Structures are given as C-alpha cells and as structure tokens.
Amino acid sequence: MNQDQLKQLVGQAAVAYVPAGQVLGVGTGSTVDCFIDALAADIAAGRLAIPGAVSSSERSTQRLQKAGIPVLDASAVERLAVYIDGADEIDHQGFMVKGGGAALTREKIVADLADRFVCIADASKLVQTLGKFPLPVEIIPMAAAQLTRRFAALGGSATLRAGVVTDNGGHILDVTGLSITDPLAFEAEVSQWPGVVTVGVFARHKAQVCLLGAADGVKTLTF
C-alpha cells in the first residue's frame, strides 16, 4: 500500500476509538482528513452518533461542517474523552513532533482538554529519537531573529516558513539539526523563551495510543 492508502487505513481504524454520544477532539492534517471522512461515513450509515466535535484548525472545521458534523468552540466544553490527531514524528514512548500543518497551538489546546490522545500515522513517522523532521515552533514575529539565535546555540538551524501565517496570526520557525533526547525537558525549556507561542514537541500531551499504518495492516502501540 502507498502512503495515502495507509492514511485511509488508520483513519478508518480510529473511528473505533470515538465514544458514542460524546464530543470528540479532532486534529489537523491529511491523515485526520481521512479520519473525518471515515467518521462521517459511519455517522451517515447510522453506526455512530456524536453531538459534535472540537476542531484544532479552520481546515478541519470546514471538513467537519461539510460532512454535517457540528463544530463546538473549545470554551463550550470542560473535557473531551478523546482527541484524535496525526503526528510528523512519534517515538516509542508516545512523544511526538507536530506542527507540519501549522496548527500546533490549537492542537495542543484541544489535546489539553482530552483524557486520551490517539495518534494516527503511517509507519514512516515512527522514530527512535525526535528531531529528524524539522521542528515547528509558532512564534511572535518580532522575536524571530533572537529565537533563531537561541536555537543556533542548541545546534539547530531555524528558518522562517515563508508565506505562512497561522490561524492565530503567528509565524512558524522550522528548526533542523536537533536531536531531542529528553522531550519533556526540551518542551518545558523552549516554551519559556520569550516570543515562543508553542513549540511542536508534544511531550506533556503525549499519545496514549498510536494506530500505525504498515504494509501488513494497522499496528496498535500503547504507551
């Protein structure tokens, strides 16, 4: 199977993790698009009923609404049973790098509401150590130069993602050359730097389950 087929496979598998009758947290990205389509098909067929979803991006909001799934504001819910989202990288402890789609801040907000994070990804996203994928960092624009210098001091090379403005009005730095061996400490440190809105390391909000699409089917990893 090619990568698109693997994304469809894990998107369909993730529907089994959606609790009937409860509001769902929905992430962003091409794999999540496949999940939304599979979710909509189950709802249309009468196999599942949910009151709505909290979305992490305008992109996912539009897809959910087009499928007839009500989208609720995050402020309207106190908790979510589950949040389903993809990852750019995930390690064997469930720590992730996210933000390739520039939605990392809202993704982390919605993940914080959820009791459980279910990551959906193809097998190419599983790594031993985070850092091969360029680390996205949402920033306040005026801090770009000084944050670039701070990442350089860690051995990283930060580049402003050209032409990208997030749903929050922020900019994205993509940082290469890092090896993130202690994701929890790294996330805590970088999150304190002035000008950082959100760093794309999801360590505090790590996955509890990963549905990994492989050539021989969906593998379920638990952390």
125 in a labelled binding site: yes
The token duo for 38 is 């599979």
Q: Where are the beta strands (DSSP E) in the chain?
A: 24-26, 53-55, 71-72, 83-85, 89-90, 96-97, 117-122, 135-139, 157-160, 171-176, 196-199, 201-202, 209-214, 217-222
Phi, psi (rounded to 5 degrees) for 109: -65, -50
Catalytic pick among 58, 78, 89, 107: 107
169 in a labelled binding site: no
181 in a labelled binding site: no
86 in a labelled binding site: yes
112 in a labelled binding site: no
Which residue is associated with the tokens 């469809």? Answer: 8
**CA–CA dist 134, 172 (Å, integer):** 11
* Bridge partners for 211 per DSSP: 120, 220
98 in a labelled binding site: yes
179 in a labelled binding site: no
Query: Is 107 among the catalytic positions?
Result: yes
191 in a labelled binding site: no
56 in a labelled binding site: no
* Bridge partners for 55 per DSSP: 26
Give me the active site residues, please.
Answer: 107
Which positions make up the binding site for substrate? 28-31, 85-88, 98-101, 125
Which positions make up the binding site? 28-31, 85-88, 98-101, 125
